[in-house]
Chains A and B, each alone.
Chain A
Amino acid sequence: MTDSIMPIPNEADFHYAVQGAETLLTRFTKAPNWQERYRQIMLLGKDLPNLSPELRVDAAQVKGCESDAWIYHLEQAGKHYYLADSDARIVKGLIGLLLGACHGKSRDEIQAFDPTAYFKQLGLEGQLSPSRTNGLNSLANAMVEATR
C-alpha cells in the first residue's frame, strides 16, 4: 500500500461495460427516497471491477477522500477508459455514476461533462460539494484531468 511506483493494469481490464448516464438517470429518478438512491448507488458499485491489491497503491490514490480511492486511465483510439475502486461502498457506487458519464467517451465529451449538473439531476447534488470528504469532487477532477 505504500509503494510509490504506479503499476500498469492489463489493457484488457479497462474494457468493461458500464451503464450510461441516460440509463442511470432513469434508474435514479425512479428512486422514491434516500434509502433507495443509496441502495442503487451501492448496487452500481458492486457491478464494477475490483482492483487487485497490487493496484491499490499510494501512487494511484485520489487525494481528498476520507476513504481510499484509486484510479487508472487508458486512452485508446480516441476514447478514454478508467479503472477505479474504493474501500468504501458508497464511494465505489459514486465512481460508477461518474463512469456512466466518462467511461469509453471521447476527450471532448468528457471535458464537456458537468458533474455538478449531473449529480443534481440524479438527486445527489449535496454529494459533490468540495466540503464533503467523500472525494467525489477529486475523482471527477481526476477523470477530466486524465484526458488533458
Chain B
Amino acid sequence: MTQSALLTPHNANIRAQFPVLKQMLDGYPLCYLDTAATSQKPQIVLDAMAQYYANDNANVHRAAHQLSARATLSYEKVRDQLQHFLKAKHREEIIFTHGTTESINLVAFGLTAQLTAGDVILIDSAAHHANIVPWQELAKRTGAVIKPIPLDKHCRLDIDAYQALLALKPKIVALSHVSNALGTVNPVAQLVQLAKAQGAITLVDGAQAVAHLTLNMTEIDCDFYVFSGHKMYGPTGVGVLYGRFDVLDSLAPLLTGGEMIKRVSFEATEFGSLPNRLEAGTPPIAEVIGLGAAITFLQTELTEQVQAYETELLNYLQCQLRALGEVHLYGAFDDNIGVVAFNLADEHHQDVGILLDQQGIAVRCGHHCAMPLMHSLNLKGCCRASIGIYTHKDDIDRFIAALASVKDLLL
C-alpha cells in the first residue's frame, strides 16, 4: 500500500451522496466509524422512500386501484432485484422481513416440527445474539441440543473442531458469514459444503457481509441466508430471508393473517404459496422500496476498485492503531470486511468511547451483542471502529488523532 494512493479518495463522489456525513458535532466534523452497527443512507435511498410516500403510497397485493398496482409493482420489483443481486434461482426464494433477527426467528420457528429431542444444532461461537437466542428457544421447544463451534487462537472458526462436531450429524448449522464484533470473514462456502455432506440444514447470517462482499447463493449453496437493509446503506425495519425453495417451502409460518392465506373459514384456513405465505400482514413497503434503491446503489458503486480501497483503508487503520501503541487489537487481521476491535491499554471501553465522542468520533463500545465471543476473549467489552463505502483516509487520521488525545487524558 502506498500513502499516495490512499491520499486520493477512491471516489469523492460516493461520500457526497450521504447528507448525514456533512455535519459538525461540538465543533468537530462527524467521523462516523460505526457502519457495522448501522450504515448511513445515500440520497438515492432517501429519495426512493420519499417518492413512494409522495406519489405511490397504497397497500400492496390488495386493491384493484392504480396506486396499489404501482406500489405492488415497485415492491415486487425489489424481489426481482434481490434475486439477481443474490444470484438466487427463483424470485419466490426471497422473503421480506423486518430485519436479520426476524429472518432467523422465522426460520428457527418454522423448523420446529422438523426437530425432535436430542437433535443437534451447531452455532458459530462468534455469532451475534440474534443467531444464538432463536436457536436456544427452538432447542427449548423441541429438546434439541445446542453445541457451539469453537474458535481457534486467531478467533476464526476452528475447522478441525467443526468437523468433529459435524460427525454428530447436526440437524441445523448456524453460521456467520462475517463476525460482527471482529469483522473476520468465514469461508462459508466450505463450511456449508461440509455441513451439507452430513445432511444439516444450513443458515448463514450475512448481516455484516452484504455491504462489503459480492454475494452468490449458488456458490455459498446454503439453505438460508439472512441480512438487514440498514447495514447495506438501506433503511431500518426491513430485512431479507433467502431460502432454497424446497426448504423454505417446508417452514411453518411464524406470523399468520393478512395476505399469507389462500382461503379462510372458521373451519379451516389454507395458506397461500411462497413468497406471500411467509409475509403476513402489511409489509414495510417504503422500506422495501428503499432497499431496492440501496441495491442499485451497491451495484453501481461497490466496484472491485472500491472493495480494494476498503481493504487498504482497513490495513491503514490497523497499522496506525499499532503505531499509536498501548492498543490491544482483537481477531484476525486479514479476510476482514472493515472492522477493528480494540481496547486502549487497560482502560474501560466506555471511557474511551465517551472521550472519542467528545471529538465527534462515532465508534461502538460494548459487548457487540456477542457475549459468548467476548467471554472467550476474556473481555467485558471492547471498542469497535468499522468503515463503510463512504470512509476516507481523513476519517482514519481524525480517529487516530482523537485516540491519541484520549490516550493523553487516560494514561
In the assembly, what is the distance between CA of A89 and CA of B351, in Å?
Answer: 7
Cβ of A90: which chain B residues have Cβ within 8 Å of it? Answer: 350-351, 354-355
The smallest C-beta distance from A23 to any residue of chain B, in angstroms, reads: 22
Whether the pair B409, A88 counts as a contact (CB closer than 8 A) is no
Whether the pair B405, A87 counts as a contact (CB closer than 8 A) is no
Interface size class of A (residues with CB under 8 A): 10 to 19
Cβ of A34: which chain B residues have Cβ within 8 Å of it? Answer: 26, 358-359
Q: A38-B355, A38-B358 known; A67 and B348 CB under 8 Å?
A: yes
In the assembly, what is the distance between CA of A88 and CA of B344, in Å?
Answer: 13
The smallest C-beta distance from A34 to any residue of chain B, in angstroms, reads: 4
Whether the pair A91, B409 counts as a contact (CB closer than 8 A) is no
Chain A stretch 42-94: residues in CB contact (< 8 A) with chain B: 42, 66-68, 87-91
Our pick among B350, B358, B359, B405 for the contact of A67 (Cβ within 8 Å) is B350
CB of B133 within 8 A of chain A?
A: no
CB of A133 within 8 A of chain B?
A: yes
Cβ of B366: which chain A residues have Cβ within 8 Å of it? Answer: 66, 133
Q: Mark A82-125, 1 if CB is under 8 A from B, else 0.
A: 00000111110000000000000000000000000000000000
In the assembly, what is the distance between CA of A34 and CA of B28, in Å?
Answer: 12
Whether the pair B348, A88 counts as a contact (CB closer than 8 A) is yes
Q: Mark B341-354, 1 if CB is under 8 A from A, else 0.
A: 00000011111011
CB of A35 within 8 A of chain B?
A: yes
The smallest C-beta distance from B378 to any residue of chain A, in angstroms, reads: 14
CB of A39 within 8 A of chain B?
A: yes
In the assembly, what is the distance between CA of A67 and CA of B405, in Å?
Answer: 22
Whether the pair A88, B358 counts as a contact (CB closer than 8 A) is no
CB of B381 within 8 A of chain A?
A: yes
Cβ of A89: which chain B residues have Cβ within 8 Å of it? Answer: 347-348, 351, 410
Our pick among B350, B381, B409 for the contact of A134 (Cβ within 8 Å) is B350
Cβ of B381: which chain A residues have Cβ within 8 Å of it? Answer: 66
In the assembly, what is the distance between CA of A39 and CA of B358, in Å?
Answer: 13
Whether the pair B350, A35 counts as a contact (CB closer than 8 A) is no
The smallest C-beta distance from B70 to any residue of chain A, in angstroms, reads: 38
CB of B365 within 8 A of chain A?
A: yes
Our pick among A39, A87, A134 for the contact of B354 (Cβ within 8 Å) is A134
Cβ-closest chain A residue relative to B367: A66
Q: A66-B365, A66-B366, A66-B381 known; A35 and B405 CB under 8 Å?
A: yes
Q: A34-B26, A66-B366 known; A87 and B358 CB under 8 Å?
A: no
Cβ of B410: which chain A residues have Cβ within 8 Å of it? Answer: 42, 89
Whether the pair B358, A133 counts as a contact (CB closer than 8 A) is no
The smallest C-beta distance from B351 to any residue of chain A, in angstroms, reads: 5
Cβ of B405: which chain A residues have Cβ within 8 Å of it? Answer: 35
Apart from A66-B366, A89-B347, A133-B366, what are 4 other A-B pairs with CB-CB below 8 Å? A38-B409, A87-B348, A133-B365, A134-B350
User: 29 A–B contact pairs at CB < 8 A?
Assistant: A34-B358, A34-B359, A35-B409, A38-B354, A38-B409, A42-B409, A42-B410, A66-B350, A66-B353, A66-B365, A66-B366, A66-B381, A67-B348, A67-B350, A68-B380, A87-B348, A87-B380, A88-B350, A88-B351, A89-B347, A89-B348, A89-B351, A89-B410, A90-B354, A90-B355, A91-B350, A133-B350, A133-B366, A134-B354
